[in-house]
Chains A and B, each alone.
Chain A
Amino acid sequence: MNSHTSQLRLSDHVIGLSLTSLFYFLSYSAVHLSISPLQNSFNLQGLSFASLVYLPHGVRVLTIWLYGWWGALYLLPASLISAVFYSKDFEMAAQATALSTLAVMAAFLVAQRMRLGAFYKPGQSVLWHDLLLVGALAAGFNAVFLSLLRTGEAFRFESAIFVGDILGFVVVKLCLLAFFRCLRKRANKPDSDAR
């Protein structure tokens, strides 16, 4: 474990695990209940295996950025529960989840080595585009790793996973941006000025 993650207390683990589980399950549900049906309604031939806006990738990248190896553990329960709820082939979904989490970890380790980005460290600021770059690298690894579970149509499959993961990460970031913006606007309402 990294030195900064070893400072985590039990309450931090509970908060990290709860938030990760909640957001992962919500994002997975959003993909399966709205994004995939919408995508299928456009009749995109041969792309039924991959969502083109895969939100859980964004949750995975942010969790692992903030919590390192602990983040990989936090992702485990929610991803297994999501697989139970939504996947027809649980074994395949569980394997895919493990590989996807490994892909994000690998991307952060490679990015750290290349000084492109790093895991969260107190007092060290990270630029959003560096994080996006790590997310894209993770999407690349994920596409390659997941293609090991499939036979045939490799390029088409990898491309769909790659694009879906990147778009998913961008959408997650934009949703969070909009959420924090709303919070700020509410907090800055001039009602307190009148006092």
Chain B
Amino acid sequence: MNESLKRFAALRQVLLGMEQDLGLCDLGETERRVLCAVAQASECETEISLGTIQDHALTKGISRSTFFRAMNMLVELGYIAKAGPEKRAGYILQKQD
């Protein structure tokens, strides 16, 4: 990622933190569905693969681009996190609100 984009991302992260602390951060319907899918899947295993989340009944019908946007959003907001640095690493649930 180039330096300008990294700075843009840092600014967004600061503002997202502010939004969360001020209680303004409401998740959209898609993010809620993806988060519920991750939460349900994490009852059986700690690290959930992308395939498991995509195949979950709750995420059926969500287009690929919307799904990935929702995943990125949940990562940015700190609800879920990548389990490791590898490209194929799964996700872990960070918060349970």
- List residues of B (47-74) whose CB comes within 8 Å of A's CBs: 61-63, 65-66, 69-70, 73
Cβ–Cβ contact A12 & B4, under 8 A: yes
Partner of B21, one of A12, A128, A184: A128
Contact residues of B: prevailing secondary structure = helix
Contact partner of B18 among A7, A8, A177, A192, CB < 8 A? A177
Chain B residue numbers with a CB within 8 Å of A3 are none
The contact string, 1 if C-beta is below 8 Å from chain B, for chain A 155-185, is 0000000000000000001001100110011
B14 at the A interface (CB under 8 A) = yes
Q: Is residue A127 within 8 Å, beta carbon to beta carbon, of the partner chain?
A: yes
Set of chain B residues within 8 Å of A190, measured between Cβ atoms: 29-30
Which of these, A11, A67, A126, contacts B14 with CB under 8 Å?
Answer: A126
Report B18-32 residues with CB < 8 Å from chain A CB. Answer: 18-19, 21, 24, 28-31
Min CB–CB distance B40 → chain A (angstroms): 20
Q: Is A193 a contact of B61 with CB atoms below 8 Å?
A: yes
Q: Does B7 contact A (CB under 8 A)?
A: yes
A186 to B63 Cα, complex, angstroms: 16
> Are B7 and A66 in contact, with the CB atoms below 8 A?
yes
**Contact: B66 with A176, CB < 8 Å?**
no
Pairs A–B under 8 Å by Cβ, sample size 16: A16-B7, A62-B11, A66-B10, A67-B7, A120-B7, A122-B6, A125-B10, A127-B14, A128-B15, A180-B12, A180-B16, A187-B69, A188-B30, A188-B66, A188-B70, A195-B63
Binding site for A on B (CB under 8 A): 2-4, 6-7, 10-19, 21, 24, 28-31, 61-63, 65-66, 69-70, 73
